[in-house]
């Protein structure tokens, strides 16, 4: 009976060599935190594991020409502690800081979290809302870019072929007028899988009082995260106020009604989403609401 | 009581803590014996059905598989894993393997293989064809299903119906508690090895070695003395390893294969396929006068024991008894109906019914207080038992029951009055306080025989060896007993050796680590045995020293006569002199029967913060006040309480093994079954009331189980108080809180309309 083979390439060239032999029984891992569970649950006894974590060249965060490039092997702990991320991608940092436990964040990587395509994944809405691009390397050494929506197809489904791996995530740097935030609700405060999560990007007018642009992405409300037009509409062109927060809450409740009205979790989520809205709104506009910046 | 205590009352680290934190200790799961095989169980994935066909051929063909066992090639003797002593008459409904499955998790087969990996793979290859039958998972439905209603228990005193008829104020509640998992870090595991002489040795992290021996002997039809059970280091039990679950299976597999076998469960198997806290659905009616004095109470408990009876009846009775020992209620009736359901099996779980009955009684007490517009702590103070009250049903006297002190002192320290009447605020986050009281026991006295034999010997170098069938479940039993012995004989702890239970060499113990009996009964035995040893030693020493026994002084490992202060002997020297001159050994074997079973009491005060948008609750402050008699090791006592509060918060808020109408189980893994973790743990403050208990060693009473009995209702009461809702179903999930708030909103809107 075929056994399990583990390959740990340490360079891109070695990786490409491994990828050439890849088939439907090849599993790419980076942090391996989701895979370990899958391995046991799905009783995977044979195949090839290609462990990307041995490639230091895929572990970086840098800002070049208006783009933040994050190597696929970058851990969530590294993201949380990174100055570039803190400055330009607050929602990703907030999402990363709430993923699993400290031990999980030390091992789990951004490339792995995207590829795993879990419906309740925390990094996915945060990356989607920032219009992140995913760089995919093919076994022939070529690579291509795709947006998040193109990579994440559904619950646990990605678009990657078995000779393709995520090597980089690119986030366009937003100018000063933009604000971002992320929040989640689980069944306890830490080490919890999201029942709901949400990421937001807004652009405010120069004086900070009116919202010019808004992007809202909701996770755990369906097979994959999605943008909520209802929630965005209600924000654009409006002045930041407590009343607007309520309107935002109601829009999200309406969004939940539209998305999962037939599910047993609906009654709870349509209420709980208000808490999510409140938290995101507060993170985005606390200074405005308390008079700090406006 | 002795005035200046040298060892008792001191926080001393656990005897094996260094091995544990260094990872050196060998748990049963770490054991490797030469030629050891590995076993894996096949558990049912349907809730109710007959097995029409079972095909093991593919699994057998797998390289490394030694043998596969099903009902076809194993004993079919019926047993009840709750049977903890030979004379206990209980319904036998369990078997090693079944061909008629009664819940998702029922044992169908076991694979024995050369390694664990192969055993796991082979289990996947067994093909089972079921004839599915409709499952019954709702205990209310079960009550009316033929073959599901198993027992009715009744306890009563006074005239309940008459008082209820006359009463003006009656408060009624329907209160629900879930099945929960013990969540010990170590999942269930056992190792068994046969020898060529036909004996079997079993290593198991268990609570009652002699019960394991009894069950294995019954199932395998072997004499008791052919089975040796050695208690392995315990990686957590909380009652979950109280009943022998894997041991009879593992012993059989070892016997049948003629090789040592290790049987290990993974987390899912431990959650669904072992034991759970027994779920209850209770109705309570309390009649009071306008001042809040309880006139009568009527309780009905529907006890869901799951697919097999085990201790269903015992839990139903145990919880009922507690209802008569917390408040002075002269007219009370408790009826319990025990039902089967096609769901995971009930068993012992920290508190043995006590957490369930206190959830019922304490939520209801707050309902009474609300109805009478009284402070719930004041309402309790009016009704709580007093020291040395009698049990109105004729049970053991309550002893030095200090629950009133617990509540009074707790109110002061917690600043209850001020915090109770604080306005709650109308923002997103709402805070509120709540409290609850609880009682528990100290062993089996009054219900069953409760005794233990200990053998204590002083060695030639002045050390001590105490041999007994004790089981340290990680709570510090060994060190606690050492402290008691050390105090009596004035010997430092590092000179005392106390091994744990081994049925071949330990003197008999009737009940193991159950029923909160260890400190009170086993500790009582250790104290008595040490005193007898001391008396023996002193009487010989007096002869050798040529003085009166009253003049013999034993201190710091030396013995001398008060009349000759300069003529001191080390204990060991004296032992040798006694041996040579009198040809006697300084050893004593004593069988101690527990003389009492007083109540132990606790009051918990909590503050919660509720997110009214998401329904998430954080317990932000806890004060646990305990009537402990005397803390032998205050650090252990606090450790027990901290852990028990953690367990109780989970019981109150998040933990539930949910079974749907088809018998499918959700919450069967830790990603779906949430226990409270460190970030959500509040700061737990502990206040001990140490007023001594006559029959406890140095005045000590139990703490291990009582510590988890009051916390859940205190939390629910705080939530209900903070939100002005009336939630009576555990766990109080965010969904239930949002539901209750919605309902309240609708009620208020309706009120405005009319």
Mean pLDDT of B61-77: 98
Greater pLDDT, A262 or B700: B700
Q: Minimal CA–CA distance to A92: which of A102, A78, A106? A: A78
DSSP B75: -
- Rounded to whole angstroms, how far apart are CA atoms A137 and A143? 4
- For residues B723 and B732, what is the distance between their CA atoms, to the nearest angstrom? 13
Nearest Cα neighbor of B633 from B457, B476, B436 is B476
A266 touches chain B (CB under 8 A): no
Quote the percentage of chain B above a pLDDT of 70. Answer: 99
Do A274 and B742 contact (CB within 8 A), yes or no?
no
The Cα–Cα gap between B279 and B267 comes to 20
Q: How many CB pairs under 8 A join A and B?
A: 60
Exposed / middle / buried, residue B447 (Cβ in 10 Å: 0-12, 13-18, 19+): middle
Packing angle, helices B523-545 and B571-582, rounded to 10: 70
For A216, phi then psi, to 5°, come to -125, 125
Taking contacts as CB-CB distances below 8 angstroms, the residues of chain A near B614 are 185, 272, 275-276
Q: Is A231 helix (H, G, I), strand (E, B) or coil?
A: helix
DSSP bridge pairs for A30: none
What pLDDT sits at residue B327?
Answer: 98
Residues in chain A: 294
Three-state secondary-structure class, residue B283: strand
- Do residue B735 and residue A268 have CB atoms under 8 angstroms apart? yes
* Dist. CA B130–CA B99, nearest whole Å: 9
Across chain B, mean pLDDT equals 97
Going by the DSSP 8-state scheme, the letter that residue A86 receives in this structure is: H
For the segment A173-194, the average pLDDT, to the nearest whole number, is: 93
CA–CA gap between residue B438 and residue B651 (Å, rounded): 15
Q: Kindly tell me if the per-residue pLDDT of B202 is higher than 80.
A: yes
Average pLDDT over residues A71-85: 98
pLDDT exceeds cutoff 60 at B68: yes
Q: How far apart are CA B262 and CA B114, in angstroms?
A: 11
Calculate mean pLDDT across residues A117-128: 97
Closest residue of chain A to B733, computed from CA coordinates:
A187
pLDDT band at B425 (very low <50, low <70, confident <90, very high): confident
pLDDT digits (tens, 9 = 90+) for B525-541: 999 999 999 999 999 99
Q: From B277, B305, B227, B244, select the one nearest B79 (Cα to Cα).
A: B244
Which residues, listed in sequence order, are joined to residue B665 by a DSSP beta bridge?
Answer: B659
- DSSP character at residue B390: P
Q: Render pLDDT for B102-144 as a digit per residue (tens, 0 to 9).
A: 999 999 999 999 999 999 999 999 999 999 999 999 999 999 9
Q: Quick check: B666 contacting A, CB < 8 Å?
A: no
DSSP annotation string for B293-338:
-EEEEEEEEEEEEETS-TTHHHHHHHHHHHTTSSB--SSEEEEEEE
Is it the case that residue B748 has pLDDT exceeding 50? yes
**Selection from B714, B609, B610, B601 nearest residue B652 by Cα:** B714
Query: Taking each helix axis from N to C terminus, what angle separates B376-383 and B354-371, rounded to the nearest 10 degrees?
Result: 110
CA distance B476 to chain A (A): 30
CB distance B221 to B77 below 8 Å: yes
Which residues does residue B284 pair with via DSSP β-bridges, in sequence order? B173, B299
Q: What is the pLDDT of residue B223?
A: 98
| DSSP annotation of B198 | S
Quick one: closest CA in A to B117, which residue? A45
In chain B the domains, ranked by start, together with CATH numbers, are 17-22+445-593 (3.30.365.10), 31-133+188-264 (3.90.1170.50), 276-442+597-750 (3.30.365.10)
Q: Hey, what's the torsion of the CAs at B382, B515, B245, B196, to 10 degrees?
A: 180
Domains of chain A: 4-54 (3.30.43), 58-172 (3.30.465.10), 178-289 (3.30.390.50)
The three-state secondary structure class of B120 is helix
Q: So what's the pLDDT on residue A293?
A: 45
Cα–Cα distance, B678 to B649 (Å, whole number): 12
CB-neighbour burial class of residue A254 (10 A; exposed 0-12, middle 13-18, buried 19+): middle
- Mean per-residue pLDDT, B411-434: 94
ipTM of the complex model: 0.94
Interchain CB contact of A267 with B (< 8 Å): yes
Contact assignment for A188 to B734 by CB distance below 8 Å: no
* Higher per-residue confidence, B364 vs A294: B364
pLDDT band for A40, please (50, 70, 90 cuts): confident
Q: What is the four-CA torsion angle of B126, B131, B137, B142, rounded to 10 degrees?
A: -140
Q: Which of A1, A188, A271 sits opposite B676 (nearest CB)?
A: A188
Tokens of B280: 């209850």
Q: What is the mean pLDDT of residues A86-111?
A: 97
To the nearest whole angstrom, how far is the Cα of A271 from the nearest Cα of chain B?
A: 7
Contact residues for A116 (Cβ-Cβ < 8 A; gap 6+): A34, A156, A158
- Phi and psi at A158, nearest 5°, equal -125, 170
Q: What is the pLDDT of residues A204-248, one digit of tens each?
A: 987 778 999 999 999 999 999 999 999 999 999 999 999 999 999
Pair of tokens at residue A6: 């583990």
A278 touches chain B (CB under 8 A): yes
The C-alpha of B647 sits at a distance from chain A's nearest C-alpha, in angstroms, of 15
Q: What's the per-residue H, E or C state across B1-56?
A: CCCCCCCCCCCCCCCCHHHHHCCCCCCHHHCCCCCCEEEEEEECCCCCEEEEEEEC
Torsion sign across C-alpha atoms A127, A129, A132, A133: positive
Q: Looking at chain B, which residue has its C-alpha nearest residue A40?
A: B120
Best residue of A38, A188, A281 to probe chain B, by most B CBs closer than 10 Å:
A188
Structure tokens belonging to residue A229: 């037009």
Query: Do residues B190 and B248 lie in contact, with contact meaning Cβ atoms separated by under 8 Å?
Result: no
CA distance A280 to chain B (A): 13
Nearest-5° angle of CA B303, CA B305, CA B306? 130
Q: How far is A266 from chain B (nearest CA, A)?
A: 10
Question: How far apart are the C-alpha atoms of A185 and B367, rounded to whole Å?
Answer: 31
Closest CA to A30 of A13, A49, A43: A49
Neighbours of A44 (CB within 10 A): 14
**Closest residue in A to B739 (Cα–Cα):** A268
- In the predicted model, is pLDDT for residue B255 greater than 80? yes
The three-class DSSP label of residue B643 is: helix
Instruction: Give the bridge partners for B235, in sequence order.
Output: none
What is the rounded distance in angstroms from the CA atom of residue B598 to the CA atom of residue B695? 9
The two tokens of residue B141 are 């439905």
pLDDT in tens, B326-351: 999 999 999 999 999 999 999 999 99
Q: What is the 3-state secondary structure (H, E, C) of B567-630?
A: EEEEHHHHHHHHHHHHCCCCEEEEEEECCCCCCEEEEEEEEEEEECCCCCEEEEEEEEEEECCC
Q: Which of B445, B509, B524, B444 is CA-nearest to residue B471?
A: B509
**pLDDT tier, B3 (very low <50, low <70, confident <90, very high otherwise):** low
Q: What H or E segment, with its residue span, contains residue A199?
A: strand A196-204
Q: In what order do the strands lie in the sheet with A4-7?
A: A4-7, A47-51, A26-29
Tokens of A248: 């935002």
Query: Among the listed ranges A175-179, B292-296, B506-510, B611-615, which one has the minimum average pLDDT value?
Result: A175-179
pLDDT at A154 > cutoff 50: yes
B183: left (phi over 0), alpha (psi -120 to 50) or beta: left
Which of B613, B671, B676 has its CB closest to that of A274?
B613
What's the CA gap between B483 and B496, in Å, rounded?
9
Q: Please, are residues B478 and B636 in contact by the beta-carbon 8 Å criterion?
A: no
Nearest-CA neighbor of A14 among A48, A46, A47, A51? Answer: A51
| Three-state secondary structure string covering B161-186 | HHHHHHCCEEEEEEEEECCCCCCCCC
Q: Are B332 and B323 in contact (CB under 8 A)?
A: yes
């Amino acid at each position: 009976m075929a056994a399990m083979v583990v390959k740990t390439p340490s360079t891109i060239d070695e990786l490409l060599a491994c990828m050439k032999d890849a088939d439907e029984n090849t599993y790419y891992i980076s942090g391996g935190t989701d895979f370990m569970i899958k391995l046991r649950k799905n009783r995977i006894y044979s195949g090839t594991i290609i462990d990307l974590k041995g490639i230091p060249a895929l572990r970086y965060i840098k800002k070049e020409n208006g783009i933040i490039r994050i190597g696929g092997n970058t851990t969530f702990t590294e993201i949380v502690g990174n100055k570039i991320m803190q400055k330009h991608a607050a929602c990703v940092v907030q999402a990363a800081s709430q993923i699993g436990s400290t031990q999980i964040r030390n091992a789990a990587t951004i490339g792995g979290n995207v590829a795993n395509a879990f419906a309740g994944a925390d990094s996915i809405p945060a990356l989607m809302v920032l219009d992140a691009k995913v760089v995919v390397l093919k076994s022939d050494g070529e690579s291509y870019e795709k947006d998040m929506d193109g990579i994440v197809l559904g619950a646990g489904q990605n678009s990657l072929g078995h000779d393709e791996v995520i090597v980089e995530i690119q986030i366009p740097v937003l100018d000063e007028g933009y604000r971002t935030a992320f929040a989640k609700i689980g069944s306890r405060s830490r080490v919890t899988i999201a029942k709901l999560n949400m990421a937001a990007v807004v652009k405010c007018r120069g004086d900070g009082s009116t919202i010019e642009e808004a992007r809202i992405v909701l996770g755990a409300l369906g097979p994959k995260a999605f943008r909520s037009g209802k929630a965005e509409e209600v924000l654009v062109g409006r002045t930041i106020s407590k009343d607007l927060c309520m309107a935002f809450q109601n829009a999200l409740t309406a969004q939940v009604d539209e998305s999962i009205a037939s599910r047993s979790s609906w009654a709870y989520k349509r209420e709980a989403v208000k808490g999510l809205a409140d938290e995101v709104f507060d993170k985005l506009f606390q200074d405005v609401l308390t008079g700090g910046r406006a | 009581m002795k005035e200046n205590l040298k060892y008792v009352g001191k926080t001393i680290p656990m005897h094996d803590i260094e091995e544990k934190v260094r990872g050196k200790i060998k748990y049963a799961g770490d054991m490797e014996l030469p030629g050891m095989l590995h076993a894996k169980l096949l558990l049912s994935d349907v809730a109710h059905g007959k097995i029409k066909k079972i095909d093991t051929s593919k699994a057998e063909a797998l390289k490394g598989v030694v043998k596969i066992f099903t009902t076809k090639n194993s004993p079919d003797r019926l047993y009840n894993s709750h049977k903890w002593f030979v004379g206990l008459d209980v319904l036998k409904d369990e078997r090693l393997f079944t061909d008629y499955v009664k819940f998702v998790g029922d044992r169908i087969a076991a694979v024995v293989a050369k390694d664990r990996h192969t055993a796991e793979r082979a289990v996947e290859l067994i093909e089972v064809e079921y004839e599915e039958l409709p499952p019954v998972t709702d205990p209310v439905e079960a009550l009316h299903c033929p073959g599901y209603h198993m027992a009715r228990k009744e306890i009563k005193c006074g005239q309940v119906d008459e008082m209820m008829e006359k009463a003006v104020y009656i408060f009624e509640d329907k209160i629900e508690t879930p099945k929960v998992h013990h969540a010990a870090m170590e999942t269930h595991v056992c190792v068994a090895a046969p020898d060529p002489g036909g004996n079997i040795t079993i290593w198991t992290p268990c609570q009652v070695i002699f019960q394991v021996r009894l069950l294995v002997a019954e199932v395998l039809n072997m004499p008791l003395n052919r089975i040796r059970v050695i208690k392995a280091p315990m990686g957590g039990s909380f009652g979950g390893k109280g009943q022998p679950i894997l041991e009879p299976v593992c012993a059989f597999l070892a016997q049948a294969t003629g090789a040592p076998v290790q049987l290990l469960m993974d987390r899912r198997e431990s959650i669904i396929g072992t034991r759970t806290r027994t779920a209850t659905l209770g109705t309570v009616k309390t009649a009071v006068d306008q001042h809040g004095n309880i006139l009568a109470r009527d309780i009905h408990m529907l006890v869901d024991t799951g697919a097999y009876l085990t201790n269903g009846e015992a839990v139903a009775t145990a919880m009922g008894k507690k209802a008569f020992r917390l408040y002075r209620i002269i007219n009370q009736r408790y009826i319990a109906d025990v039902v089967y359901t096609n769901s995971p099996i009930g068993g012992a779980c920290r508190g043995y019914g006590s957490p369930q009955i206190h959830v019922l009684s304490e939520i209801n007490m707050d309902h009474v207080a609300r109805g009478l517009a009284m402070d719930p702590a004041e309402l309790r103070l009016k009704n709580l038992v007093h020291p040395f009250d009698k049990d109105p049903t004729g049970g053991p006297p309550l002893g030095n029951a200090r629950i009133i002190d617990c509540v009074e002192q707790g109110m002061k320290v917690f600043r209850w009055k001020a915090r109770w009447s604080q306005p709650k605020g109308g923002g997103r986050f709402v805070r509120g306080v709540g409290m609850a009281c609880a009682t528990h026991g100290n062993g089996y006295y009054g219900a069953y025989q409760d005794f233990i034999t200990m053998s204590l010997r002083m060695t030639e170098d002045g050390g001590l060896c105490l041999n007994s069938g004790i089981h340290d479940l990680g709570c510090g039993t060994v060190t606690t007993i050492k402290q008691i012995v050390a105090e009596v004989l004035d010997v430092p702890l590092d000179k005392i050796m106390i091994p744990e239970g081994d049925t071949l060499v330990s003197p008999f113990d009737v009940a193991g680590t159950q029923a909160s009996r260890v400190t009170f009964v086993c500790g009582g035995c250790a104290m008595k045995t040490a005193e007898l040893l001391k008396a023996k030693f002193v009487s010989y020493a007096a002869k050798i020293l040529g003085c009166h026994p009253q003049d013999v002084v034993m201190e710091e490992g030396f013995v001398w006569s008060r009349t000759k202060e300069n003529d001191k002997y080390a204990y060991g020297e004296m032992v040798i002199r006694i041996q040579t001159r009198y040809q006697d050994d300084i050893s004593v074997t004593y069988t101690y029967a527990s003389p009492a079973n007083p109540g132990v009491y606790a009051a918990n005060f909590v503050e919660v913060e509720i997110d009214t948008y998401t329904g998430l609750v954080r317990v932000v402050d806890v004060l646990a006040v305990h009537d402990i008699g005397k803390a032998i090791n205050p650090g252990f006592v606090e450790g027990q309480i901290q852990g028990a509060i953690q367990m109780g918060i989970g019981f109150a808020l998040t933990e539930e093994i949910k079974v749907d109408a088809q018998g499918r189980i959700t919450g069967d893994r830790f990603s779906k079954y949430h226990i409270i973790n460190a970030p959500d743990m509040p700061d737990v403050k502990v206040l001990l009331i140490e007023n001594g208990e006559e029959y406890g060693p140095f005045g000590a009473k139990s703490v291990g189980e009582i510590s988890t009995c009051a916390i859940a209702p205190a939390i629910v009461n705080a939530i209900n108080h903070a939100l002005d809702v009336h939630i009576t179903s555990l766990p109080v999930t965010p969904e239930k809180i949002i539901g209750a708030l919605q309902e309240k909103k609708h009620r208020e809107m309706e009120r405005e309309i009319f």
